[in-house]
Structures are given as structure tokens and as C-alpha cells.
């Protein structure tokens, strides 16, 4: 069973969406990531190199959000998952992308997608 390292509420401005206004003006996206990691090697040796560095991964997640625009938050979530899984210690990742300013014409609190990916 894997341990979990979770970072919630990463905020970044991105230009994702299918509508021209979303692409032009951008909007805030909020991302939560939960990394499935075996933390025993890091804990036994008190060694950062033996685990997932959540500070570095957080910066990389923000870079994905602020990077090349995509139409769908599903695609954005997949790109974030792929980046997280590029770290050797990360065996599984759950990514939730929040789009609180989605272009919906009725009152709402949030739109999210959550995906779970693991090493194939």
C-alpha cells in the first residue's frame, strides 16, 4: 500500500478553455495533487532524495497550468498527472483541477475534474 503526500490549493492563472474569452483573458485554476509514494526509504534514512519533493512538484504543477493552453480541463489534468509521474518516487497520482470561474450561466461554486493515474 502506498503512502500519500498531498498538496491542496495550488493556484495559477492559465489561458485554458474552448471560448476565445477564456484564452484571451485567462482565469485562475486551483489544483490539488495527491501523490502515491512509498515513504519508508525516506523515513528510514531521513533522506529527501528518497521521496517526492512536494515543493519541486508544486512548482512544476503551476508551470503546467501557466504553460501551453488547452481546450479541456481533462487535458490539463492529464498533463499535470504526467508531470507528477515523471518523478521516480511517485507511483500513483490523483489530480483535481478546479475551474471556479468556468463560463456557466447559472450560479455555481466550482467545476472540477479528478483523475487518478499510475505507472503503467
> How far apart (Å, rounded) are the C-alpha atoms in residues 55 and 48?
11
pLDDT tens, position by position, 2-61: 999 999 999 999 999 999 999 999 999 999 999 999 999 999 999 999 999 999 999 999
- pTM to 2 decimal places: 0.96
Active site residue 99: yes
Tell me the average pLDDT across 95-114.
97
Where do the structural domains in the chain lie, given as residue ranges? 3-118
Whose cell is 531521513? That residue is 46
21-24 own/partner pairs: CB under 8 Å, 24+ apart: 21/103, 22/103, 23/69
pLDDT for 81 beyond 90: yes
Catalytic residue among 16, 79, 98, 99: 99
Query: What is 3-118's CATH topology?
Result: GTP Cyclohydrolase I, domain 2 (3.30.1130)
Amino acid at each position: 500500500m502506498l503512502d500519500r503526500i498531498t498538496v491542496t490549493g495550488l493556484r495559477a492563472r492559465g489561458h485554458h478553455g474552448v471560448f476565445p474569452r477564456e484564452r484571451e483573458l485567462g482565469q485562475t485554476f486551483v489544483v490539488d495533487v495527491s501523490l502515491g509514494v512509498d515513504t519508508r526509504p525516506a523515513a528510514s534514512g531521513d533522506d529527501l532524495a528518497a521521496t517526492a519533493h512536494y515543493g519541486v512538484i508544486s512548482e512544476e504543477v503551476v508551470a503546467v497550468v501557466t504553460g501551453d493552453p488547452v481546450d479541456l480541463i481533462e487535458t490539463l489534468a492529464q498533463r499535470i498527472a504526467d508531470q507528477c509521474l515523471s518523478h521516480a518516487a511517485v507511483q500513483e497520482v490523483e489530480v483535481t483541477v478546479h475551474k471556479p470561474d468556468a463560463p456557466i450561466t447559472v450560479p455555481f461554486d466550482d467545476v472540477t475534474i479528478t483523475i487518478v493515474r499510475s505507472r503503467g
